[in-house]
Chain A
Amino acid sequence: GAVVSQHPSWVICKSGTSVKIECRSLDFQATTMFWYRQFPKQSLMLMATSNEGSKATYEQGVEKDKFLINHASLTLSTLTVTSAHPEDSSFYICSAGPSNLANEQFFGPGTRLTVL
């Protein structure tokens, strides 16, 4: 199957700092990538759809100025959590899928963010 990587796998930061998370499709091109957040023992919550070469589409309730998404190439999307606070601590996961595999999403390994 297709491979999606994420970096870093975990990060601990102080409150008020910004954290950038990278999502890469390693063996296919992805015009669309998805960013999710998952709290402990809960389901995945779609935050936004990242579109290559255009603005991301954010889900209701997700602050676009807080969670900056950049999809500058067909293999890379980044999520920047700006001015992070303890309530932003969560597991952030991206997904992408090759165009020839309709609706099948491959997930990155996730990034565990802890804001102190």
Chain B
Amino acid sequence: GQQVMQIPQYQHVQEGEDFTTYCNSSTTLSNIQWYKQRPGGHPVFLIQLVKSGEVKKQKRLTFQFGEAKKNSSLHITATQTTDVGTYFCATNAGKSTFGDGTTLTVKP
């Protein structure tokens, strides 16, 4: 089945710095979803990308889907302490497959 790899596993930034997490697959993905899980919470859907080269923005968050549909990225501009949590990418081809996640910590 489809598998997605995520890097980095952990990222610690100073508040105000940017943050990027990457999701890669060896196979072409039909779609990619991004979720955020706060400590102690459950995953919350952020966005879905389906088109090659697609770029979507949500305030300080920018999501990209690669031209070959084998990779995706989530970029946060000027991080805030409220951005802390683990960000997962996932792909769905009848069932969801999640990456290992990138845990972001932000130092005030």
Contact = CB atoms under 8 A, between A and B. Distances in A.
Interface of A: 1, 34, 41-46, 49, 93, 95, 103-110
A112 to B, nearest CB: 9
Given A46-B98, A107-B35, 17 more contacts: A34-B96, A41-B103, A43-B88, A43-B98, A46-B95, A49-B95, A93-B42, A95-B43, A103-B31, A103-B33, A104-B45, A105-B33, A105-B45, A107-B42, A107-B44, A107-B45, A108-B42
> Chain B: interface secondary structure?
strand
Contacts of A45: 98
Interface of B: 31, 33, 35, 41-45, 48, 88, 92, 95-101, 103
A105 B94 CA distance: 12
Contacts of A43: 88, 98-101
A103 B41 CA distance: 21
Contact of B45 (A34, A106, A110): A106
A109 B42 contact: yes
Contacts of A1: 45
A104 B47 CA distance: 8
A79 to B, nearest CB: 15
A106 B101 CA distance: 18
Contact of B92 (A103, A109, A110): A103
Contacts of B48: 103-104
Contacts of B42: 93, 107-110
Of A43, A46, A106, A108, most B-chain CB atoms within 10 Å:
A43
Contact of A44 (B33, B41, B44, B98): B98
Nearest to B99: A43
Of B48, B88, B99, most A-chain CB atoms within 10 Å:
B48
A44 B100 CA distance: 8
